[in-house]
Amino acid sequence: MLARGLTGTGRQATPFTPMCLLFDGAGDFLSFNHISAFNLTGDSTISMHIRVPYHDTSHSLRRLFHNGYNYFANEYGRYCEISYDSNGYHKLKQSWHDNSGNVNDACVHTGGTFNTTSWMYVFFEKEGQVSRIFNNSVASSSNKTLPASTIAYPCEYRSIGNGGTSSTCAQTDSGTAAHVYMDDVRIYNRILSQTEKAQVVTERDLPSTSVVDGLLARYGFDEGVANQTASGALSILDSSGNERHITPGGSCVYKAAGS
């Protein structure tokens, strides 16, 4: 069992105080461009604890997790997003570029509608050609079978909280930046069972990590203190034991977990 918040340079000492990050919907992001282990071309699960603070009807989507898209290098990737409509409803969404560099309806999986501003734990899965989305370990929609051409190609541009195109990855693109509270981001190179998903949900504000098989990284955002900007921390620390620390950009703000 691993301990969140107690490993890595600069990590808080005990007593453990769980924190989260607030992304402002403009230029906040976390970059992990340099981590080749996140070239997620096979089965994988991206999970995170999020809260949408208000209903944003001025943007069609906000990116929670962006795993590569560099059109000029023919590298195409995966997006985990929240989409919005004019009625103030939100939907969880997972999409890919196909091997022609296009995102079309066949490459997009949209989850069920929600309009809560409460915290929820979400899971984005890809198993073979099947996409699944879960909210608090419950399926948010039916599965979607993706076309065989939908592949997450290795790409050096990856981020949490934003994402874009071209050689700069447009990581400060206000058109796609997420306005969201985010906590306990986990990246697995496999699919979790329903029992494991339920266990992850219960651990969201705890220092322990019991579901460790296939865990590439866990970011609990506990290295800061309340109302400190993430840019003031040495790095966003990985508590999985893999030392895959990432770099803050913009001005994400630490808040007490559950804010």
Cis peptide leading into residue 15 (ω within 30°):
yes
> How would you write the pLDDT of the chain (259 residues) with one tens digit per residue?
555 544 444 344 345 678 999 988 777 888 776 677 777 778 999 999 999 887 666 666 677 887 765 545 445 578 888 887 767 678 898 888 766 666 678 888 888 887 778 898 999 999 988 999 998 888 888 899 988 766 655 556 678 887 544 334 434 455 566 788 999 999 999 999 999 999 999 988 787 788 999 999 999 999 888 999 887 666 888 999 899 988 887 788 999 988 8
pLDDT score recorded for residue 161:
82
What confidence score (pLDDT) does residue 113 get? 81
| The predicted structure's pLDDT at residue 90 | 83
**CB 221: neighbour CB atoms within 10 A?**
27
Backbone angles phi, psi at 70, to 5 degrees: -130, 90
DSSP letter for each residue of 129-194: TEEEEEETTEESS--EEPPTTB-----S-EEES---SSTTTTTT-TTTB-EEEEEEEEEESSPPPH
* Secondary structure (3-state) at 93: strand
Tokens of 120: 């929820």
* pTM of the model as a whole: 0.86
Q: Which residue has the tokens 């699919």?
A: 191
Q: What domains appear along the chain, each with residue ranges and CATH number?
A: 2-256 (2.60.120.200)
